[in-house]
């Protein structure tokens, strides 16, 4: 699992595309938490997609922390939708700490009703 191949409570972080999106991940057993910072748009979302796909196989709970996410577009929503579908029947997916602009996009698109928001 490359940089994620660490033991309990390991953390890893990376940033792509001139730091428009920083992704930090913590692992607690089969629980994975991604902390996103910056912009989740068409250019940056493939990076989140690949990181989620790397861990989703052995994940029982997937948490996406948007406390520092300032912007999300449909490309980001598509990644979340893919993750939600992948987690179905396997475990739980949670999004938390939505910032006001991200929350607005969730409301506009009806995604607020699809996800378990904390």
Partner 1 sequence: MKGFCEKKFTSMLISGTFTKAVMYLMLLSDSIIAGFFIGESGVAGINAITPVTAIVTFFGDLVSTGVGIVFTREVGAMKKRRADEIYGQGLIISIGIGLLSAFSIFLFQNVYFGMSGITGDILDKALQYYRFVPINAFLTIVIFYLEQMVYSDGDELCNNICYGFQIGGNIICSVILTKYLGMTGIILGSVIGNSLGILTCLGHFFRKKNTLHFVWHLSFKDFLLTSRYSIVDSSVYICWGLMDFVMIGFVSRNYGNLGLVTLAVVVSLIEFGVVMDGVGMAMQPLIGTYFGEKNHKLIKRVMKSGIKAAVIEGAVATVLIWIFAKQFCGLFGVTDEAALSSAIPAIRIVSLGFIFCSTVSLTTSYYMLIDRIAMATCIACFQNGLLYILLPIAGSLLLGINGMWAGFVIASILTLICAMLFVYLRYGKNNFPFLLNDMDSEIIVMEDTLTPESATILSRQVESSLASHHYPKEIVNRAALFTEEIGLSILENNKQAKKPLLIELSLFCEADNVLIIERDSGKLFDLTDPDNQIKGLSGFTLSGLMEAHSEKAYLVTTGYNRNMIRFYRA
Per CB under 8 A, residues contacting partner 1 are 20, 39, 41-43, 70-71, 73-75, 77-78, 81, 100-101, 104-105, 108-110
Residue reference for tokens 């999106």:
21
Q: Which residues contact 92 (CB under 8 A, 6 or more apart)?
A: 60, 61, 62, 116
- The first and second tokens of residue 69, run together, are 């996410």
Q: Which C-beta is closer to partner 1: that of 92 or that of 104?
A: 104
Shortest reach from residue 17's CB to partner 1, in Å: 9
Between 60 and 78, CB nearer to partner 1: 78
State the minimum distance, in angstroms, from the CB of residue 100 to partner 1: 7
Nearer CB in complex with partner 1: 15/73: 73
Q: DSSP assignment, residue 80?
A: H
Rounded CA-CA distance 101/27 in Å is 27
């Amino acid at each position: 699992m490359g940089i994620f191949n660490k033991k309990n409570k390991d953390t890893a972080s990376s940033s792509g595309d001139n730091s428009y999106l920083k992704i930090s991940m913590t692992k607690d057993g089969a629980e994975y938490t991604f902390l996103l910072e910056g912009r989740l748009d068409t250019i940056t979302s493939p990076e989140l997609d690949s990181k989620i796909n790397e861990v989703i196989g052995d994940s029982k709970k997937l948490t996406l922390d948007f406390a520092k996410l300032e912007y999300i577009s449909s490309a980001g929503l598509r990644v979340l939708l893919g993750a939600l579908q992948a987690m179905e029947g396997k475990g739980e997916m949670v999004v938390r700490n939505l910032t006001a602009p991200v929350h607005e996009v969730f409301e506009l698109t009806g995604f607020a009703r699809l996800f378990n928001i904390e």
